[in-house]
Structure formats: C-alpha cells, structure tokens
Structure 1
Amino acid sequence: MTFKHVLTQSALGLTLLSSALIAVQAQTAEVVQPSPAGGSEVAKWQSHWLYASEQQGLLLTDNAGLKTVVPGQFEYLAVHNNIALTYDTQVDQVQGIKLDLNNMQRLVLLPKRSFQVEWLCLQPRLADGNLYAWIGDEAGRAEQWLLTSDEQWKPQLVRSMSVAMGALKCRVDSNEQLYVIDNGQGLWRYAAAPHSPDESALVVSLPDNSLTGLAMVADQPVMLDESGQMFDAQGQRLNSPFTQNLALESLYIADNQAQAYSDEDGYFYLGQFEQAQLYGSHPAGTPSKDVIKEVPTAVESSIADRAGDTMDDPAIWIHPTAPEKSRILGTNKRWGLLSFNMQGQQVQALAVGRVNNVDIRQGVNLGGKLRDIAVASNRDRDSLSLFELNNEGELIQLAEQATPLTDIYGLCLYQPQADELYAFVNNKAGEISQMALRWQDGQLTATEVRRLTVPSQPEGCVADDKQQRLFLGEENSGIWLFDLASDTPSNRLQINAEMIIQAGGPLVADIEGIALYQTASADYLVVSSQGNDSYLLYQSQAPYEYVGRFRIGVNAAKGFDGSAETDGLDVTTQAVGSGRWAQGMMVVQDGRNRMPDQNQNFKWVPWSEISQALELK
C-alpha cells in the first residue's frame, strides 16, 4: 500500500495521502512512494483512517503516521462503531476485528463460504440494536449475516439472496435499503431488513459503465467510476476531486473528504468532496422513516414438512390445570392440522386436507357436556373440519360438515352463550356464512343461519363473544364491524355493519390476521399487516383509536429470526406459563422463516413483552 500528498490543483482539492503524512506546501508537490503493499479499501474510525492491505494487514493513521495495528492479509473493509469487517485472503474467510487503540482484537471468523467473497458492507439496525453484514460475489450471490447482538459477537446466517450479476460494491442506508453497483447496468436497491422480501429495483441505469466505488453521503449513494468521475443516485455527474485517469476501484467519503484506491499505481488518493450539502438536512445514519419497534421471538415451532406457502393460521388452546402444557394449533394449508407444545415441538398432525384457518372455543356446553371445540375451514371440499380436544389438548377428529359457499377461505368461532356456538366462514367473493354448530345424534353438525357480505375478499376475523360483535378484515380495504346483537339469526337479514378502520396510514394493506386481547383494563384489537410485516393494536371500542404497532424480530441468543408476511395470528389473555408468560401470549404465522432460510413455521412471544415495547398501561 502506498500513499501520496500532492498539490491542491482546484477548489475541490485533490490530495494524496502519504505513509509519512508529509505536509503539502503551497504550489508544490511532494511524493512519497514506498514499495507497493496491495491496498484495497479505506474507512474512517473516530478521527483515524483505517486501511485494508493485502500485505500489511489493517493499518491506521495517527499523529505518528501510518502503522499496522492488525497484521495479516486483508481485502475489503467496512467499519461501524468499534467493529471492522474485512476479508482474510490467507484463509478465505470474513474476519471481524474489535477496534480498540490499546488492544485490537481479531474476532471469530465467519464460516468459510461456498463462494469467494468479493464485496462486503455493514448494516446497523436501530429497530433491534443489532449489527448485520452483507457479503457477496460478482456472480450475484449475496448473504445477510447477523454479527452482534447486545454487543456480543455471534455470527449467524440470516438469509441468502440473489443480486445483480457483476455486483462489485455494497452500502446500506439507515432506511434498511441495500445498494449494490455493477458495471453492466448501474445502481440497484434491495430491501435489507432481516424480515424483508427479496425485492429489487434498478435505481439508475448506467449501461456498460465502469463503476468501481460506492459510498454513502447524508444517507444517499454516491458512485465512482475507474476514471475518477462521480455520480449521484439519479446518474447525474458530481464534482469530483479525482481528475486523473487513476484506475480507481473503491470509494469512501467522510467529513467532506473522499478517498479512493488506485489499483494501477497502488496509491490511496484523498480529496475534498463538497457535495454533501446537496443531500438533504437529515444527518447520515438518521432514518427518514419511523422505526417500528421489535419484540424478539421467544419460541418458534417446528418447520413445515415442505417448501412454499404452507403454514397459515394458528389458534391457542389453554390447558385447564397446567398452563405451561397448553397447545398451539396451526394449519398446514397443503394437507392438514398440526399441534405444537409450548416449546414449539410438533406433537400431533392430522391429514384432513387443505385447511386454511382454525379457531377454538373451550368449555362449550354441547350435548350435555362441556367440550373444547376446534374448527378449520377446509378448501378441498368447501367444508368445516371439526375437532374435539381432550383435557391434554389431544385432537379428536369429528365428522366433516359441508358449507353453502364455494372457494372458502377464512374462519372464526363465536360463542354468545355457554351452550351456543357458531362458525363464521368466508370466501374470496366476500360472502360470509354464519353456521350454527349443534350437537345432534352424537355428532357436531353445522347449519347456515345467516349470510353476510363485504365488497371484496376477506379472510381474518374474530368474534367478541361478550359484546356480540364480529370484526372482519377486508384485505385491501380495512376492518369491518358487524353488530351481531342488532338482529336475530333466525330471519337471516343483513345486520348492521360499518367500516371502522380503513387501510392507510399505519395500517398497510393487505390485512390478514385479527384477534382480540381483552382484560378488565385492556381491550385491544390486534391486526397483522402483510403490507409492511407489522402488527397493530387498536382500541376495540369506538372510536377505535390506533394504539401502536410492532414487529416480531430476531432473537440472536436463541438463533431465531423474526416473522414476516404473516397470514394468521392469535392472542390470549390467559397465562400460558409463569413469569413473562403470565399475561398471555401472541402467536403468528411466519411466511419467511430465516436464520437460515427454511420452510415456514409459527413464532410466539409473551404479551408482557409486547406491552413493554408499546408502553401499554
């Protein structure tokens, strides 16, 4: 690695940094050229510049000049707070370094990858306080890694993803967007949150370019090509301090200074970059969007037996004497109904068909006996799959019952009286059938007693048994409230209904799972939004005020990812254990199971941690 100081030639001032840090004299140029040492990338740490060298390791500038602080053979460099990330070419593994002027410390290497790492960058997250990294190669392979949680270094693979062929450099902004440059098409953007879908967008097309460097200035990407030209995210040329044909291949900008490395002559070039004031008023690293709080996954279930969209809707069964022995039912909409213990282990599976949604009512007086009943909407035969649960939560299959609908979808149960039970089942056309469930001749039967409608496709619903209300989500529109007490089922008339919460603002369509959390002091409607992978709380009484929202996030200590693309959810106010589980829980379907990428499953969290995150009273 070599460095130069040269004369400032213009208002932008091109300077080259020398290993001896010799001062630049006006109208003169002094060059210091020790033997090349294989430079690579540079980053700012505190008041120091750090350099990755393939021969001299990690180097640092201080008042005494330039010195090696970690011997080795390093390529690529990214820094955040006291963590540096580089690539050790001796062992072909990603190396973390804990930065401390008195004791630089190599951290545990990331496992060797199946590809040669050719670029990397860091991603600090405000939502969970964790530090992540992206690594990849020019063949379009990329991986996201969790590096630190609670300041503890514990690398874990989050997900693998395809990016642009020819990818060269990456950076992540504070709004969790990953930027990648290639020299075939230009600048790409990818959703970088751990729960995000694998979505991409070509931000600016620069076909057949010679891009080699990427930096962030005031949270905006700045690109560099090998000739020294610089471009913004719209492809507009910027004033560049690099005015010579230097075969530049990396870029870093901090404190209005830009550094780039020339592979042609082995020098790092330092110049003034005066473009930062053009990029808005928010400081770099400050998100322009609201940060949604995250509650870490406490338990995750066993995974689905097959890939693809499989798991859908959960329901909670409470053990009558031992809350810690409660069960979670979950639909596998490809073939049947599953049951999990509170540790997430699958304990029962019934191959009843393509069941979509499931709900439970306990202690229903049917046929002269208190029974725990589960009902699932079965899309194979547009029917209701019926089950009874014994005192240990074991499922006993009952006779299937037909419905009058076609293409059935969502379902929820309603118990207005101790000896009354109904199922609301809906279809994609917006029809909702209220089915009376009665014990007759030794079996549970289902008969339609009322038909309701909404304008378009619904799915999630929940009934308020005490106040005789039905909440129903119309996926792209909002949440409807039906007053079940405003009419009697026998005359089959449309009952009073109103749209109480419209999609928009914090509630991003599409709307999926809906549940109620009701105690003497709390009365919340809980809603899942697939639109931005969040869960929202509203007051369940008029005027249905918005309370707050959260996501279920990474639990690094247990190696659990968060949840995303949620279909169904359920909550309970009853204890499902002691301590943090005493206030009940929430369970959700996870449509993107990661850390690492796996088949879908269910995630659950204690309600006490939701309450704490949202500062509920």
Structure 2
Amino acid sequence: MTKPRPVRTAALVLTAALAVLAAVVPAQAQPGPADAARALPVVTARAETATLYDDEAGGNANADDPAIWRNPADPDRSLVIATAKEGGLRVYDLDARTVQKVTPPSTGRPDDAPGRFNNVDLVHGLRLSTGRADLAVTTDRGNDRLRFHRIAPGHRGGPLVDVTDGAVPPVFNRDQDQINDQRTVYGLATWTDPRTGRSYALVSRRERTRVALLELRPTATGTVTYRTVRTLDLPSSFRLPNGRTWRPCGEPGELPQVEGMVVDPLNGVLYAGQEDVGIWRISADLRGTPKLIDKVREYGVPATYDEDTEECTPGADPGYGGKHLTADVEGLTLVRRGGHGYLLASSQGDDTFALYDRDVADRNAYRGGFRIGARNSVLDGSEVCDGAAAFTGPLGRRYPRGLLVVQDGRSTPAPAGREATGFKFVDLGTVLDAVRR
C-alpha cells in the first residue's frame, strides 16, 4: 500500500485559486475537486473484516489487496483472499470472518528483508500434474518472487495450499543484497491467453516504471514456477503542451511506480495504474504502444521534494490534469456485464472510486463515481483505499447481485498510535444502482 498522503498538488492550488475568484465574483464561484467528491453518490458496506494492525503486537499486518474466489460447488462458501503484507495472506468467508492465515516465507537470515505479500490475483483451471486447480498468485515484495497457493476448500489445514516451487527465481533482482533494497515485485494481474491456453502474471516493480510478463509453468511435482517473457518500461517523464518536461515528484531515486493492475480477458488489454500519473491501457502481451486513458488531477504540476517533511511542495497548476482521479490512482478491477461493464479505479487521494466503460473500442469513457461511507458508528467507510476486487453475478444468498471488496486504509475506531486497516464488503448491485441514478 502506498503511504497515505495529503492531496498535495492540483487540489491545493485549485482551492486557493477559487478562493481568490470568490473574493472578486462571489456569485460565480466554481466547485473544486473536494466539492466534486462530496457530490458523488454514497454507498455503505455490509460487512468488514477484523482490523489489522501494522505494528509488532499486530504482527506487522497491513491490509492491501483482495481477490474474490467463487466456490462453484457452493457459492455461499465462496472466499475472499487478501494480502496483509508482513502479515501474509488472510482468507475470509462472505461474512468477512477469518478462515485462514498464511505466513510469508523468510530466508532465515535476520538481516534480510522479511516476506511481504503485496498484491494477489487468481488463475482458474491451471493444469497441474495433480489435475486442474484454481490458484491464488501473490507478489512477495520482501523476497522479489511470486508465490502460488492452490485453492482447496476441503483441505483440512485451510483452503490455501502452498504449491510454490522451491526454486522460483527472483523476478527483478540478481541476488539477496539487491532484494534487500526492496525494488522488488509489487503490483500484479493474471491473464490466461484464450488462443494458447497459457497463463501469465503481469508484475510491476516497486519504485520503478517496469512491468514484466511472466509465464506460469507447472512442474512435474505439482508445484508452479515461472519464466520472464518480456518487460515494458512506462515513461518516467512527460512532455507537456507548454513544451516543458514534467516528472512526478517523489523521494530521491524513486520513479513513478505502478501498482493497481487488471487484465480484461475479452480483448487481452492490461489496465495499469501509474500512481502519480494515471491509468494506462496496454496490450497484455506488452507489445505495442501504451495509451494513457485518464490522468490524475496532479498531472503536470511541478513540485519539489522536502526532505524534512518527506512531502512534495507543489507549484502552480498548468491545468493539464484529469478531472476524476486524485493521486494516487490505486486498485483497478473489472465490473463485467458480458461484453460490457466497467473498469473501476480507486482514487486514493480523495477517497472516491471512478468507473470507466469497459470498452473494446479503445475509448474507456468516464461513466461516474461513488464513495463508500459509514453505515453506522461501528461499520465505517473506506478511506485512502488501495486494492479493490469485484465479482459480478450471483455470489450466494448474501450477494445475489455481486460483491465489491475494497481495502480501507483507515479502519476505525483504532487505538491511538496504531495504523489500522481492513477490508470492506459492499453489495455490487447497490453500487451500480447508485452510479446509474
């Protein structure tokens, strides 16, 4: 999860500009980004998971990214599989109760980075030597590797069974010393090519713009490994209409990274969220030219990194940003309706979600947005949301119109001084009703 940051660029500059305008022509004051966010429809969650705490007492567990697995034999016993970083994986039932905890592996050397599960996605029907299986695929950011767990609902030890081959290689680094610098695997999306039946993982690199295409390869012993097919580097600087070059502000040495990703299987398109830039549309085989389908509001705003505050101080907004996303752009997921539906994106900076046409014609028009608010004093909303996952269609008695699971970066109430996170379960039908009004 990206560290929660204040809205530090276009929103701040635009607010100040509007204040000046209001002083001159009060009756003509225009709404700003905060007003736009408040104007969006609000939905509430039906359930939430137990709070995770990112400290020693809480096992350094930090909610990040969910995936939804439908149990074909009994949809009411479907599962949500979610990452908790150093806390590993959490498996929840549809009442948001914990079913299983999976601990990330360690090298056994105290000075090495610990295992840290960052993002998760599913592969359905992968042919293993033991038969076809559904897998949960996870980026282990601590070890720069992918991890694989077979989903076996009847398994005595829990529904997830580790089938990671013992010799899986690092994805982006040569050795453990490089891995310990933590420019490692980060975001994740899976894809099965219908033409060949081969399954892949698309993986981004932390603090870099690189995305790698990995082919998943079952072994003769029933485990899974992978090989790198190709990589793609997205831009780290951008030419603006005024002729200037803009580079997103970050800590020294950091490039604008990608985390949220999803592949549309209908047309083999990867959507990738470059956090401080916007959403890219890319061929899932990483061939061809990427297209930026929407930008964050802060796009093009010059900023200077302050080492004392560890924040970026913005300059004047030249007005080249988008209207629907406030950095960071985070979790991406698909809301599928046959050949139609939506691409859903988490606009982390203003606690909203944006919907775009799931469009094979390469347009991806914006169709609306929403917020997730508090249901009552116990069940709060979702703030600074990172990962999101949607399942469209009947999912048992609880969610006959589908389920949306989102990360909540500020789960409340929380004891003072403890970073509290979790996941919210939202009726997807309610979301679609609200957006269509």
Say whether the fold is shared (TM-score over 0.5).
yes
Alignment of 1:374-389 (within 5 A): 374-389=136-151
Deviations 1:121-160 (A, max 9, x none): xxxxxxxxxxxxxxxxxxxxxxxxxxxxxxxxxxxxxxxx
Alignment of 1:42-191 (within 5 A): none
What corresponds to 2:305 in structure 1?
Answer: none
What corresponds to 1:452 in structure 2?
Answer: 232
Deviations 1:510-569 (A, max 9, x none): 11100111122632101001110111100021311101111111111x720000111111
What corresponds to 1:571 in structure 2?
Answer: 390
What corresponds to 2:292 in structure 1?
Answer: 499
- Counterpart code for 2:231: R
Matched, 1:394 2:214: no
Contact 1:316 1:329 in 2 (8 A): yes
- Deviating more after overlay: 390-399 vs 542-551: 390-399
Contact 1:482 1:498 in 2 (8 A): yes
Q: Of Structure 1 and Structure 2, which has the larger fraction of its residues in strand?
A: 1
Deviations 1:404-452 (A, max 9, x none): 3142211111112384211111112111111111112222111111111
CA, structure 1 residues 419+494, in 2 after alignment: closer, same or farther (shift >3 Å)? closer
In structure 2, distance between residues paired with 1:391 and 1:367:
19
Q: Of Structure 1 and Structure 2, which has the larger fraction of its residues in helix?
A: 2
What corresponds to 2:47 in structure 1?
Answer: 299
What corresponds to 2:370 in structure 1?
Answer: 550
Contact 1:538 1:545 in 2 (8 A): yes
Q: Which runs of 5+ in 1 are unaligned?
A: 1-195, 201-232, 235-276
What corresponds to 2:131 in structure 1?
Answer: 369
CA, structure 1 residues 197+288, in 2 after alignment: closer, same or farther (shift >3 Å)? closer
What corresponds to 1:248 in structure 2?
Answer: none
Q: Cα RMSD between the aligned structures?
A: 2.9
CA-CA distance at 1:361 after TM superposition: 2.1
Contact 2:340 2:358 in 1 (8 A): no
In structure 2, distance between residues paired with 1:395 and 1:310:
20
In structure 2, distance between residues paired with 1:371 and 1:385:
15
Alignment of 1:573-588 (within 5 A): 573-578=392-397, 581-588=399-406
In structure 1, distance between residues paired with 2:409 and 2:208:
24
What corresponds to 1:356 in structure 2?
Answer: 118
Contact 1:365 1:420 in 2 (8 A): no
Give the TM-score taking structure 2 as reference length. 0.71
CA, structure 1 residues 296+399, in 2 after alignment: closer, same or farther (shift >3 Å)? same
CA, structure 1 residues 501+377, in 2 after alignment: closer, same or farther (shift >3 Å)? same
Matched, 1:441 2:262: no
In structure 2, distance between residues paired with 1:515 and 1:198:
24
What corresponds to 1:613 in structure 2?
Answer: 434
In structure 1, distance between residues paired with 2:219 and 2:339:
39
Instruction: Provide the secondary structure at the position in 1 that maps to 2:434.
Output: helix
In structure 1, distance between residues paired with 2:134 and 2:24:
64
What corresponds to 2:333 in structure 1?
Answer: 515
Deviations 1:40-63 (A, max 9, x none): xxxxxxxxxxxxxxxxxxxxxxxx
In structure 2, distance between residues paired with 1:516 and 1:448:
25
In structure 2, distance between residues paired with 1:305 and 1:502:
32
Matched, 1:411 2:191: no
What corresponds to 1:340 in structure 2?
Answer: 92
Instruction: Provide the secondary structure at the position in 1 that maps to 2:350.
Output: coil
CA-CA distance at 1:577 after TM superposition: 2.0
- Counterpart code for 1:495: G
What corresponds to 1:312 in structure 2?
Answer: 64
Q: Percent identity?
A: 30
- Counterpart code for 1:545: A
In structure 2, distance between residues paired with 1:611 and 1:601:
23
Alignment of 1:128-277 (within 5 A): none
Contact 1:364 1:419 in 2 (8 A): no
Contact 2:6 2:349 in 1 (8 A): no
- Indicate the structure whose relative CO is greater, using CA pairs within 8 Å and at least 6 residues apart: 2
Matched, 1:477 2:297: no
Contact 1:416 1:466 in 2 (8 A): no
Matched, 1:603 2:424: yes
In structure 1, distance between residues paired with 2:278 and 2:433:
27
Q: Give the structure with higher Rg (CA).
A: 1
- Counterpart code for 1:424: L
